[in-house]
Amino acid sequence: MVTSEYIEKWNHASGDWFTPKAENDFKTDGRFNYRMEAKDGRFGCDFQGINEVNEKIEGDCLAALPFLMVILF
């Protein structure tokens, strides 16, 4: 199962970015909030949204991602 700790380890734009905080209510209509920052401290941003069910079928396979993240601006 994916946890917030896993997201903090792999969610980054490149090697000079990191995610110090990730919160996700892993269910349909659950909210998420991921904080991504440059390691040098010059920039950071929050990605927030709501998980929606994503059951797109490609060929005979269900898409790998169970949720579509709706980002709120």
The structural domains of the chain, ordered by start, are 4-71 (3.30.530.20)
Does the predicted model carry a pTM greater than 0.85?
Answer: no
Q: Which residues contact 6 (CB under 8 A, 6 or more apart)?
A: none
The DSSP bridge partners found for residue 35 are 21, 46
pLDDT of residue 57: 54
In the numeric block, the tokens 């927030």 are attached to: 48
Among the residue ranges 2-6, 43-47, 62-66, the one predicted with the least confidence is 62-66
Per-residue pLDDT of 12-28, as tens digits, reads: 788 899 999 999 887 77
Average model confidence (pLDDT) for the chain?
76
Helix (H, G, I), strand (E, B) or coil at 53: strand
pLDDT of residue 60: 53
